[in-house]
A and B are shown apart, each in its own frame.
Chain A
């Protein structure tokens, strides 16, 4: 098995590891660093459960090799502040099993950063890459919309 040494910043801490070159970023974060909040669903970029933040942008953790993240800054659900979003998801029943929730929260956080006052359709479009098999999405869109309205001055 071929390996390569990488150094990157994960949730504010510098880490240096020898990784298999074929290992994807989400497996590295989960297995090597223990950040198991990022989930592994389809491993083909469809479901969004593995969403993490790479250099300030959400990415599919399964569609980035760990070696490609060499030198980058990575944030996972464990490393970001999203108190009001998390509370709104809880309050409005925007999750059941929770498998998609870390990815949903990171995508919703990014949407509200870039577009603080999105329409419901814009919320649906932005979250279209995150699959939820429990809720039917209605409550998730409600939660994101509620937080957007609460944050408006």
Chain B
């Protein structure tokens, strides 16, 4: 029985080890790709940007308790902003002014969440405004004014 137990343990460790090796190789490969993608030496401002908190969409925490995400997805941007103001002034939800701006900025980004994924928003932390505009203008049917508005919302959320 001892021989069988030893055999089982060795086989078990071998398989788990194989999985770990595959995982670690994958992590090393990913890391190498990320290093390859670094375009230059990081500056002090890059390091500060890297320390910035991750982008959190304010409405995800506060609004989705009552509304579904689909509701926001189906609604034009202007209407979304009007709805937030309406809820505050007519329905007397008393959302602070600063919070309204954050929610509206979040909804602006949410409207383009198909293109601006969380990973993309995180990557944009390290970019200059010019590079960010380049990405935003790459979105189909994007106008310069709209891109400026999105960039403003993005920068507002970065300061949160």
Q: Do A and B bind each other?
A: no
Q: Which residues of B contact A (CB under 8 A)?
A: none
